[in-house]
Chains A and B, each alone.
Chain A
Amino acid sequence: MRIDLETAKLFLPALVVGITVHEFAHAWTASLLGDNLARRQGRVSLNPLRHLSPLGTLVILFLPFGWGRPVPVNLYNFRRPKWDYLLSSLAGPAANILTAALILPLTYLTRHTLAFGLAGEARMVLVHNIVVSAFLLNLLLATLNLLPIPPLDGSKIWPVLIPRLKTALEGRMTLVFLIGVFALLSTGALNRVFDAVITPALRLLPATDGVVFNGHLARWQREFQAGRYEQARQSIDAALAVCPDSAHALYGRAETLAELGQWEPALADIDRAIELNDFEPDYLTLRARILEALARPDEAAADRKRAELLRGPGE
């Protein structure tokens, strides 16, 4: 078994949120319906420490899921035992779906991964990915828990709705089923069930700045190579609107403008690109070409010489 710290970094906050709201919802609903056992045990709380199972949390190092401590429920304390148990069991998955719905707007708020420039991109991407993980993991927790396999919530929900179905088990058999759930998750046997939920959910997620930027850049490249410079300019303008500090995009626009014969704005762009990255010989070569077109041969020669130095004798 391999310890996957990268996955853990992404999924741990998501798992903590998912499990806490799931178990809190069970406890709170049970308490509302008259069963105060969970309240007595301190489980009607949004404090994650009250709900996390040490083993269920550590497992995140090996697998992209985990579990919490089950909330104790006493059916004798309910007024309508069967239906109140159904409601309190449904509350956990329902809370995960509600949490996912609340997290979805956050994915839109954090999609601007280039909001703090290229320097802050890595951190912003991490934040966005954690938010996306929380969204997806809450949906996965809801889906997994609705399966009619003990000790999952579905094993308590479905027998109430389908009277002949008897799946809630006690003691050692629960452990056997728990190992079964592990096996199903580890082998990917449940992937088709999860895909049915995750695939449409992914369509709801916004593209990040990085994805939008790369899309515009790819379109610019295609159109530039095809000689459609006006369209190429529109694409590169769109890319620079997302990330104004991208030296590569500035170089691309300078190149496009040069092809369109707009030398002055091309010079402004390539100057800015070189300001951001003055070790790129291609940038210096382009500026030399633009300067020559603007009848500034001395400066052009200096750029060419520096470009040759940067490229080295072999190139």
Chain B
Amino acid sequence: MIRLLRKLFALPFIWLGQLAVMLQQPGPAIPLLRMAWRISGEGRIGLTALVQVFRVYGREASSAEARQWMQKHPRTEVAAWAGLLALDSKRLEDARQMLDRGLQLGRDREGMLDMLQLRVMLVEGDTDRLRQFCRDMEARRDATPQVSKTILSFLAMDALEGGRFDEARRRASFLLQVEDSAAAHVVLWALATRDGREDVAARHLRRASACDRLECLSQQAVAADAIGDTEQSRRCLAELHETRPEFAEGMEERLARRREQQA
């Protein structure tokens, strides 16, 4: 009853705040949503406010406010947001702490915690755990589109790396049924290259590059390595080094880990 009353009192602030967000006016949106969050205590509202703080004042301000809120009124969405911002700032330990706190509080409806867990696992690079997590998420079928796309792309590439080519083709084709995806095209490029179908491979590579050039390069580095074309993999990494060194480093780490696991 008290929760409902709080929500009712917060409604005008939520409406006005969300209206301001819709009209791309973060200035008035922030105080209104902060007020709505204080009254209602709803993590979803807190998250909307924190996103606006991020837009106007940047990552550090939003992160500081999220951590402050977590001390007073811990909510899963706020923990997930704080964790994601920590990851962006390369503070993996903070992100892990926020993930643990979020998992204690329970999964959120918006799927923010799933995203944090996925990203933490991607950074940690434990492929077996990540594969299991992705398969569990896939079986649950309740992830958000963003999380689904990431886990399905990972599973497609993982199947390619594991030599499960039929699975890789099926997963990549499925991804493309929903929307164009650089990762899916790169997987199909690798499979077509492996089968010697150069024209199909070239078409997929063109489309992958058109989707997202950086994503294409980084995925191509992994995919080329998976089909034994280490020279192509090196070329992609070199190109990636020139444009986005941090991406290239991440990919090199991933490839090194895989080689270690294979060894």
Contact = CB atoms under 8 A, between A and B. Distances in A.
Interface of A: 34-37, 39-42, 54-55, 72, 74-77, 80-82, 172, 175
B177 A37 contact: no
6 contacts: A34-B141, A35-B142, A36-B142, A54-B15, A74-B144, A81-B177
Interface in B11-43: 11, 14-15, 19, 22, 24
Q: Is the interface of B mostly helix, strand, loop or mixed?
A: helix
A74 B177 CA distance: 13
A37 B142 contact: yes
Interface of B: 11, 14-15, 19, 22, 24, 109-111, 140-145, 148-149, 152, 174-175, 177-179
B21 to A, nearest CB: 11
Contact of A36 (B14, B141, B145): B141
A172 B19 CA distance: 13
- Residue among A75, A80, A175 with max Cβ neighbours from chain B (10 Å): A75
Contacts of A42: 109
B11 A36 contact: no
Contacts of B15: 54-55
B11 A54 contact: yes
Given A42-B109, A74-B148, A76-B148, A175 B22 contact: yes
A100 B189 CA distance: 51
- Residue among B22, B149, B178 with max Cβ neighbours from chain A (10 Å): B178
A37 B144 contact: yes
Given A36-B142, A37-B142, A76-B145, 19 more contacts: A35-B142, A36-B141, A37-B111, A40-B109, A40-B111, A40-B142, A54-B11, A54-B15, A55-B15, A55-B19, A72-B144, A74-B145, A76-B143, A76-B148, A76-B175, A77-B143, A81-B174, A82-B177, A172-B24
A81 B144 contact: no
- Residue among A34, A39, A40, A172 with max Cβ neighbours from chain B (10 Å): A40
A54 B7 CA distance: 12
- Residue among A37, A76, A77, A172 with max Cβ neighbours from chain B (10 Å): A76
B223 to A, nearest CB: 21
A76 B178 contact: yes
B178 A35 contact: no
Given A54-B11, A55-B19, A41 B145 contact: no
- Residue among B15, B141, B152 with max Cβ neighbours from chain A (10 Å): B141
Contacts of A72: 144
Contacts of B19: 55
A84 to B, nearest CB: 10
B141 A35 contact: yes
Nearest to A85: B178
A124 B110 CA distance: 44
B246 to A, nearest CB: 27
A304 to B, nearest CB: 65
A80 B178 CA distance: 9
Contacts of B145: 74-76
A232 B179 CA distance: 73
A37 B111 CA distance: 9
Contacts of B142: 35-37, 39-40, 77
Contacts of A41: 109-110
B19 to A, nearest CB: 7
Contact of A76 (B11, B24, B111, B149): B149
A189 B186 CA distance: 48
A81 B178 contact: yes
Q: Which 8 A-B pairs have the closest CB atoms?
A: A76-B148, A36-B142, A40-B142, A77-B141, A75-B178, A41-B109, A74-B145, A36-B141
Contacts of A81: 174, 177-178
Contacts of A36: 140-142
A294 to B, nearest CB: 69
A53 B15 CA distance: 9
Contacts of A82: 177
B108 to A, nearest CB: 10
